[in-house]
Amino acid sequence: MTEPMVQLLLKAMFWFGVLVVAYAYLLYPLLIWVLAGMRQERRRSDSGHPSTRYSVVLAVHDEAARISGRLDELLALVATTDSCSEVIVVADGCTDATAALARSHQSPLVRVVELPENEGKARALTRGCELAQGDILVFADARQRWATASLGRLLENFARPEVGAVTGELVIEAPEALAGVGLYWRYEKWLRRNEGRLHSTVGVSGSISAVRRELFRPIPRGVLLDDVYWPLQVVMRGRRVVYEERAVAYDCLPDRRADEFRRKVRTLSGNFQLAAMLPQALLPWRNPIWVQFISHKLLRLAVPWMLLAVFLASALLDGPLYRIAFVAQVIFYGAALIALAGGPRPRWRMATAAAGFVMLNVAAWLAFWVWICGRTEGAWKKVAYDVSLPPD
């Protein structure tokens, strides 16, 4: 290959990579924001939540330390509404006293389903939904806490017949070591909020969401992103998945970067798995939010490879523009590495943002190899840590 052809190839790599990264993180969010602002959202009904009966489904594994308090909190929220059918606790192969403590709860609304083996959250949710009697299924997790009135605010959205599912807002407290990831999560919520205003969010927060029972489809065992799998099914059946920012759940990230990194690798490898298990979502004539799905979920998986291409091309190309681009990348990645190493502290917002960006894209790069090697299910194990509910 001649030198001019090599230079042309490197320039194509550079500009294509820049375009993909810019579209995924800047142009697509800007487009969604503009289009969402142009859409006239139908006002919510002021008559409160519908009287349709609902079931709360809680899938848990070894949550003896939390289950009693979590049930107390959920039932206090249930008491502020009407028409609750039950609170179903699916004990997924628990090796502690989770199931026994749930059975001993004084409320007659509590039902316990015990799976003899740990089959995963996807199977536990499916089993709970198969037994549910309510017309609306409300999903919660054991660790997070909900703000007052969040349950009623979720249910209000089902007064609109076009709404098939709704997700609440997950507020995450990030420790100092993960301040950059916390910044990224705020950006992600802003994007989801605007996607929901335009049509539907690409996935929900599994810890605070709800769906019409007739729209829920069984989740195959082993699916990692249950909170993306079933919402896509809802959208492909012609209903919306909306974002309810007034329904709030609280959570926090683990203290150690390694724990959050493993969690992110698992989540991102689930995107590869999802594309393989739900190929109809890749077809624009089947998926009404095809552009959102490709741009938000799948294109970001290509970003690490594009970043590598841009870095390599700018290092090898001649010309002041490419030299400036190379130096800028070296400074950016250097600041990220310094922040990941423990300094400077989060007052350097650019450095912490760079650290979060680099960490997430390294996780996305590694997630591909985890998935292609068939090691997705072993990419993460449960990390135990406590969460306190902030005052309303």
Which mean pLDDT values do the consecutive 10-residue runs of the chain (392 residues) have?
84 96 96 89 56 90 92 93 91 92 93 91 93 95 91 94 95 77 87 93 93 94 92 96 94 81 89 92 95 94 97 94 96 89 65 88 94 68 52 46
Sign of CA dihedral 56, 61, 64, 69: negative
Q: Is 213 within a domain? A: yes
Pick left, alpha or beta for residue 203 (phi over 0 → left; psi -120 to 50 → alpha; otherwise beta). Answer: left
- Strand 163-173 relative to strand 208-212, pairing: antiparallel
pLDDT for the residue numbered 390: 47
- Separation between Cα atoms, residue 180 and residue 197, nearest integer Å: 26
Report if residue 280 sits inside a domain.
no
Least Cα distance to 200 among 227, 167, 225 occurs for: 167
The pLDDT score that the predictor gives to residue 389 is 47
What sign has the CA pseudo-torsion 307, 178, 28, 231?
positive
- Helix 299-316 vs helix 257-277: crossing angle, to nearest 10: 110
Task: Please list, in sequence order, all residues whose beta carbon lies within 8 angstroms of the beta carbon of residue 376, skipping any fewer than 6 positions away.
Answer: 224, 266, 269, 270, 272, 273, 370
DSSP state of 307: H
- CATH number, domain of 134, equals 3.90.550.10
Residue at 225 is within a domain: yes
Distance of CA 239 to the CA centre of its chain: 20
Inside any domain, residue 18: no
List the structure tokens of 35.
């289009």
Cα–Cα distances (Å) from 190 to 169, 179, 243, in that order, read 10, 17, 10
Q: What is the pLDDT of residues 191-220, one digit of tens each?
A: 999 999 999 999 999 999 999 999 999 999
pLDDT for the residue 30: 96
Is the residue at 136 inside a domain? yes
Whether 188 is in a domain gets the answer: yes
Total domain count for the chain? 1
Q: 214 is in which domain, residue-wise?
A: 54-256
List, for residues 321-367, the tens digit of each pLDDT value: 999 999 999 999 998 888 888 765 555 677 888 888 999 999 999 99
CB 170 within 8 A of CB 249: yes
Helix axes 299-316, 349-372, angle to 10 degrees: 110
Q: Are 108 and 173 in contact, with CB atoms under 8 Å apart?
A: no
Decide: residue 271, CB within 10 A, 0-12 exposed, 13-18 middle, 19+ buried: buried
pTM of the entire predicted model: 0.89
The answer as to whether 361 is a domain residue is: no
Question: Which amino acid is present at 197?
Answer: R
Question: Is residue 67 in a domain?
Answer: yes
Q: So what's the pLDDT on residue 293?
A: 95
Structure token pair of residue 365: 């790069």
Question: Quick one: CA torsion of 169, 57, 121, 162, rounded to 10 degrees?
Answer: -60
